[in-house]
Amino acid sequence: MKRVAQRIARVVRYGRTLGHLRHYRGYGVHSPFVYRVVREAVMQKREVAGDDLSLYERLRSLGVNRRRAVQLQNFYTISGCSRFVVDDEWSASVGDDVMWIVTTATAPEVIEAIESVVGERKVVVTIVYPRNNSARYKATRRAIGEHHGLSFDNIGFVALLCNDKRQKQHIYI
């Protein structure tokens, strides 16, 4: 009986992977910005672009694995944000061009209320490890559904680009 359950779980994981293969390596992505993110951030697993390593070092100290930390550091460089905040630091942050990193320390209720918390600010919200548990994944899916701009899912993190005047679209990378 255990082998049957394992095979079913493997088929389900394989089906999820097929959804991501559509935009693998940037193929099928029509947005130049998202294509650049795929090529220069998501596909870069080892090299950090640029000289600024502050976000990378902060994420590593919070327990984010090396691959995701490199990808998020490169995405931070590409997104053009002037600074980043992690988890509860958001309440003290005011202004635009901020990347808000939501780690596993943040409760799912906060993730569900991201649109109301962000308001009219021009920010980038990244949810690290959205599939960590079922409550977190459901909250992330609700936040994506309520989001009115461009968002993409890289399995390791979900990025929501808030108030960037881009068409509502969710891309699985």
pLDDT tens profile 74-83: 999 888 888 9
pTM: 0.80
**Element holding 84 (H helix, E strand):** strand 83-86
Q: What is the pLDDT of residue 14?
A: 58
β-strand pairing of 150-153 with 98-102: unpaired
At residue 47, the pLDDT reads 82
State the Cα–Cα distance between residues 43 and 1, nearest whole angstrom: 38
**Most confidently modeled range among 59-73, 94-108, 110-124:** 59-73
Q: What is the mean pLDDT of the chain?
A: 82
Has residue 30 got a pLDDT over 70?
no
Could you state, in order of their start, the residue ranges of all structural domains in the chain?
A: 25-172
The token duo for 59 is: 């994420």
Place of tokens 């100290």: 61
pLDDT tens track for 113-122: 888 888 778 8
β partners of residue 123: 98
